[in-house]
Structure 1
């Protein structure tokens, strides 16, 4: 575990993180074989850093039943330790190549890894960027695909890496971003994967924008504005002739200027083009019945639709408002641990009733209409924006 330096003041949060693997150039507790070649494509310093044995890894695990604030404090402390290890080495020959990585394992009941890293990363980059130490953080890592946030003196970037089966999906997303207006992307391949870099989008997600409302702290006007903004962003995408294919509460970022940018285009397609052999996208809880039926019964490849996007959009807003998925699985006998395929089959058969949880009836009545409508009867994303905007009038 992390402890205070000898002779220093004790820290009440010491023990929130357990040291899994002390600093090493060749970690055994985490796999970095895919990450390093991919990052070398976008970071000119990493390959010579690893070649000279100047890349270090320290692995920590969250202690059970630890509050997020304690984890955040210890992550900050771990970052300070790494940065202070680097600072005296920067003046030595090849000092610019020193690279330290802090890896976090385990789960915290109060926050996911992205949320845990938010303020430690913000504090560390503001403390150390001015002296030339760049900070990055991994935002997600699942099914061979990882996203990193890299911060330096010249700005902030998002780096996405795909290895193994995620290689094709990552390359496909880079291609979509390259075609969409308002997005900038640099992309490439390495032996066992693909990568791309985009400017980091600053602002809360739709899920975060609804947080005050969910907590009963007001914020209804802001939530309506966020909902309308997300609907309009999806409408703009549809106008360009695209289907998103995987709308979720975290996939819209709301900028200070009011603009909303969508994220995660791995399962997006242009109308008239099917860029995959097997469709594996969409969050199962936000999958429309007709799309669930096609995925379940076939045939593949499955063509996603804008109508299915609107279903997922309404479900996303329902989830943001209530903190729960739109369907009542318990009422359908689908308890926790039910396989995704079984849930999808039930959705396809329309055997799962809508949730009765209604903390915001004025909004949810409109969303319920969309979620229960047949595909041809659903409003467009632009029409849904108008329906939602009326809630705040």
Structure 2
């Protein structure tokens, strides 16, 4: 469910960027994203606001804080110019626009069967490299999914770091980690969320999510089968109780996905190991 009318840029953002162009990119529950152009370049502007409760969904106040939390994270892990602040409905951030296509869209020909395309090892290696760079800084992403890998001429960029953990976050913008998009959630994260409502994101959880992301992007199939319309608790219980679907991706990539989807976190390869293996296979 989206906000009926996308929120426009707050005055504080307009004053900071002096926009020349703007394009609505996303308008969904709790978040509106604009692409803004000015004399200095192109920028992604994220606006967060709370999600009201509905018959099917509880209220989600944390979405109002997510842009500022992500801004605080980005300032610690990148040299890019990043701004963040508050507006009347929540918080916002401004970060450089990443040009490219996300992993799921890039591998659409693999899923459609319209062309004899197999998943590109170069794309998978670029994703693993981006995640390895984050892990090398001591950070966990916490929300790995295909849409968060933007692959362009310069490699892959990891975006949407609002749930990342690994450093200090201003208390006024912080909130508990309650899991990620269930399609990519590891069994141990799902188990913790079911038991307590929260979890601790880990690098091993990121690796499971990377395996699930590569699997669904290549095959269109989620890592575990569960009904689309089932409550989150039912979907998470399926992840805890059920083995992952068979990995039908051929070659070394399929072998690595199988390892990343291990139910035992310690048995999963690291992001650096996955990158090194894939990078060797590319040549």
TM-score interval, smaller chain: 0.7 to 0.9
- State the match for 1:43 in structure 2: 14
Alignment root-mean-square deviation, CA: 2.9
CA shift for structure 1 position 262: 0.5
Higher mean C-alpha deviation, range 305-314 or range 278-287: 278-287
- State the match for 2:37 in structure 1: 151
CA shift for structure 1 position 134: 4.2
Select the residue among 341, 354, 363 that pairs with 2:233: 341
CA shift for structure 1 position 215: 3.8
Answer yes or no: is the 8 Å Cα contact 1:177–1:185 preserved in 2: yes
The gaps in structure 2 that reach 5 residues or longer are: 51-60
Sort the Cα spacing of 1:219 and 1:391 in 2 relative to 1 into closer, same or farther, 3 A.
farther
Answer yes or no: is the 8 Å Cα contact 1:285–1:325 preserved in 2: yes
Answer yes or no: is the 8 Å Cα contact 1:363–1:391 preserved in 2: no
- State the match for 1:200 in structure 2: 97
Sort the Cα spacing of 1:299 and 1:321 in 2 relative to 1 into closer, same or farther, 3 A.
closer
TM-score normalised to structure 1 length: 0.61
Select the residue among 295, 303, 310 that pairs with 2:200: 303
Equivalent-residue separation in structure 2 for 1:370 and 1:152 (angstroms): 42
Which structure would you say has the larger Rg? 1
* Matched position secondary structure for 2:180: coil
* Matched position secondary structure for 1:267: coil
TM-score normalised to structure 2 length: 0.83
Equivalent-residue separation in structure 2 for 1:345 and 1:206 (angstroms): 27
Select the residue among 190, 195, 200 that pairs with 1:292: 190
How does 1:4-153 map onto structure 2 within 5 Å?
Answer: 30-31=4-5, 35-36=7-8, 38-44=9-15, 134-152=20-38
CA shift for structure 1 position 149: 1.1
Answer yes or no: is the 8 Å Cα contact 2:47–2:92 preserved in 1: yes
Higher mean C-alpha deviation, range 263-272 or range 133-142: 133-142
CA shift for structure 1 position 271: 6.2
- State the match for 1:283 in structure 2: 181
| Larger RCO (CA under 8 A, 6+ residues apart) | 2
- State the match for 2:58 in structure 1: none
